[in-house]
Structures are given as C-alpha cells and as structure tokens.
C-alpha cells in the first residue's frame, strides 16, 4: 500500500533538496520579479568589465548631461559627474562592491547572531537573560550613531565596515533565532535527543537549527536588503570605503550638493540601490508566500 502511495525518492544531497524547495519561488509572481532584479544586478556585476563603456575612475568630460556624446564619439548614457567620470560605468562597477559586501556582512551577522540565539532559546535561564540584555543594549542604540562611533574610532576600511554592519544586525538575528529555538526546543525529537544524552550544541545545531531554516531564509533576504541600504548610508555619510573606487552611497554623497542643477548625478545611484533592495524584499515576500501555501 504505502509503496504505491509514496514513490521512493533516490538519495538526494541536502543542497539539492534546498535548491528544489527554493525553486518553488517560480509559483510566485512577486518572487520572480524580485529574483529577476537580483539576477540582473548579479549579471551586471559579473560582466562589469564587458558592460561598462568607460573605466570607472577615468575623468573624461565633467558635468555632461545624459546622452551627451563624448570626445571619441561614444555616448555618456547617464551623463558624467562633477569631475567627469561616466556615471553608468561607475554604477556598473559599484554593483560589484555592494554585491560582495552585503552578502558577506549578512553572513557574518548570521554567524554571530545564530549561535547566540540558539543558546538563549535552548538553554533559557541565565544564558538567555545575559544574551538578551546585551542584544537589547545594542538594539536600543541609534544605529547611525553606532556606525559613526565604530568607524570614527577605528577608521574606514573594508573590515571595519563589515564589523560595524555585523555588529548592528546580529541582535535582530539573535532575536529571531531565539524565538524559533524557544518553540522548537519543546518538540519531542528534542526530548528524544536529550534522553539519549546528546550534547547541548549538537541538539542546537543538528536538531533545532535545520528546522528553523524556513523563516531564516526569508529573513536573510530581507536583511540583505537592509544591509545594502546600510552600506549605502555609510557611503553617503562618508564612512564608506575611501575614494576613488565607485560606491553607490559614495556617489550620492559626492554629488548631492549639485543635485538641484544636475539631478542625474544622484538619481541614478539611488535607483540602483532601490532596485536591488526591492529585488531582495520581493524575493523575501515571494518565499514567504510559497512557504505558506501547500
């Protein structure tokens, strides 16, 4: 009976299974739009050297409006900035930075927030009190002030930006993981693991964490979006990576004084940031939608 009802699947790798469940996103229009936006930017970043018409840091012709034809006959589709660099090329190269930094920073934040959340949710008691207290202190701090303090004291560099973003996002992840662990710890399979004397870390990582992955994947997508904004904000505040390499937030910052007369210098980097953030948010919505459906 059972054999007829349920077909026997071959042994599958966990990665493939994960991929298959993520592939359900094709059933959500919103999710597909989000995915398309992200894929677009990823392709742009990968093929930046092919796509960009100019080197990103070359000063060619200052203050050109979009569509202006340059000295060698090529066109500045999105115009140039105040010191004559092609905006399109800078946006294209800038996507590389954001698409490397945002995932790495998000990953680091998860690497910090997840174990703490698991420990607090599983062990409860003192562990939970102390960790939650620390998380609350960080969360109660205005994030921008936090960034300014961190980067102003240790200086702007790739690592420091990573540390600042990780530090600021980890408490949010901590809270989500803690909540999931608090619920999952009462499952009978966790009791079963306890009654066979498994170590607490094994229970947290092998019994609890895999079952929290659904909500965490959705959260990771949303958080990637936030981190992109954060990196943009840091760039805008002048706390991003030092010039001259293109940085979307930095591009807005450098040209904001001219924004009234030359709006194209700020508007295109803004569109770039928002479209990528939107992509991640829509993907998160889509994933949530398909995960709720059966």
Partner 1 sequence: MTGNGSGRHGDYEGPILECKNLSISYFTRAGEIPAVVDFNLTLNQGDSVGLVGESGCGKSTVAMAIMQYLGNNGGIVGGQVLYKGRDLATLSEEELRQLRGNEIAMVYQEPMASLNPSMTLGRQLMEVPLYHDDVNEEEAAKRARKILADVDLPDPDRVMASYPHQISGGQQQRVVIAMALLSNPTLLLLDEPTTALDVTVEAGIIELIAEIAKKFNTSMIYISHNLGLILATCDRVNVMYSGVVVEEGKVKVVFDHMRHPYTKGLFNAIPLPGADKTVRPLVPIRGQLPLPHERPPGCYFGPRCDFFQAGRCDVPTHGSTIAMRPVDGKPGHVVRCVRWDEIDWDAHMPEGVSGESISMGDEVLSVSNMRKYYELHDNSIAALIKGKRVRYVKANESISFIAHESETVAIVGESGCGKSTFAKVLMGLETATDGEVLFNGQDISNQPVQKRSPAQIGSVQMIFQNPFDTLNPSHSVGSQLARVIKKFGVETNKNRIEQRVMELLDLVKLPRDFARRRPRQLSGGQKQRVGIARAFAGNPAMVVADEPVSALDVSVQAAVTGLLMDIQREFRTTLLFISHDLSLVRYLADRVVVMYLGSIMEQGTTDEVFAPPYHPYTEALLSAVPIADTSIEKKRIILEGNLPSVMNPPKGCPFHTRCPRKIGRICETETPPFAEDSEGHVIFCHIPLEELRKVEPVIVQADTASDQPAAE
Residues 16, 173, 226, 241, CA torsion sign: negative
Q: Which is nearer to partner 1, 5 or 159 (CB)?
A: 5
Report in angstroms the alpha-carbon separations of 68 from 48, 77, 120, 179, 265.
21, 7, 59, 55, 14
Q: How far is the CB of 197 from partner 1 (least distance, A)?
A: 5
Q: Which is nearer to partner 1, 73 or 197 (CB)?
A: 197
Q: Which is nearer to partner 1, 10 or 73 (CB)?
A: 10
Query: 181: closest CA among 202, 217, 213, 208?
Result: 208
Q: Which is nearer to partner 1, 187 or 256 (CB)?
A: 187
Cite the beta strand spans of 67-140 per DSSP E.
68-69, 75-76
Q: How far is the CB of 134 from partner 1 (least distance, A)?
A: 21
Work out the burial of residue 125: count CB atoms within 10 Å of its CB; fewer than 13 is exposed, 13-18 middle, 19 or more buried: exposed
Cite the beta strand spans of the chain per DSSP E.
68-69, 75-76
Q: Are 35 and 276 in contact (CB under 8 A)?
A: no
Report in angstroms the alpha-carbon separations of 110 from 57, 172, 213, 243, 256.
34, 10, 12, 29, 34
Q: Which is nearer to partner 1, 131 or 190 (CB)?
A: 190
Q: How far is the CB of 1 from partner 1 (least distance, A)?
A: 4
Residues that bind partner 1 (CB under 8 A): 1-6, 8-11, 27, 187-189, 191-192, 194-198, 206-207, 210-211, 213, 293-294
Q: How far is the CB of 278 from partner 1 (least distance, A)?
A: 27
Q: How far is the CB of 188 from partner 1 (least distance, A)?
A: 4
* Bridge partners, residue 73, by sequence: none
């Amino acid at each position: 009976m059972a054999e007829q009802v349920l077909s026997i699947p071959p042994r599958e790798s966990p990665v493939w299974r994960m991929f298959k469940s993520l592939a359900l996103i094709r059933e959500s229009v919103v999710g597909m739009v989000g995915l398309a936006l992200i894929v677009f930017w990823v392709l742009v970043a990968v093929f930046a050297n092919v796509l960009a018409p100019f080197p990103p840091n070359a000063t060619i012709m200052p203050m050109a409006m979009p569509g202006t034809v340059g000295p060698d006959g090529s066109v500045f589709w999105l115009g140039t900035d105040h010191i004559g660099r092609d905006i399109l090329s800078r946006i294209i190269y800038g996507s590389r930075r954001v698409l490397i930094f945002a995932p790495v920073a998000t990953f680091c934040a998860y690497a910090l927030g997840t174990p703490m959340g698991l420990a607090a949710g599983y062990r409860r008691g003192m562990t939970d009190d102390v960790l939650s207290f620390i998380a609350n202190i960080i969360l109660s701090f205005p994030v921008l002030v936090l960034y300014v303090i961190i980067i102003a004291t240790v200086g702007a560099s790739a690592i420091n930006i990573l540390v600042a973003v990780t530090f600021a996002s980890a408490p949010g992840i901590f809270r989500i993981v803690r909540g999931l662990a608090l619920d999952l710890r009462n499952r009978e399979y966790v009791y079963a693991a306890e009654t066979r004397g498994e170590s607490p870390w094994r229970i947290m990582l092998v019994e609890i964490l895999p079952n929290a992955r659904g909500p965490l994947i959705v959260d990771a997508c949303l958080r990637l979006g936030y981190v992109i904004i954060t990196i943009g904000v840091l760039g805008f505040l002048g706390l991003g990576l030092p010039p001259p390499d293109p940085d979307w937030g930095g591009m807005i910052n450098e040209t904001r004084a001219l924004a009234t007369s030359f709006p194209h210098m700020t508007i295109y980097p803004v569109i770039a940031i928002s479209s990528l953030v939107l992509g991640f948010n829509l993907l998160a919505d889509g994933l949530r939608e398909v995960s709720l459906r059966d």
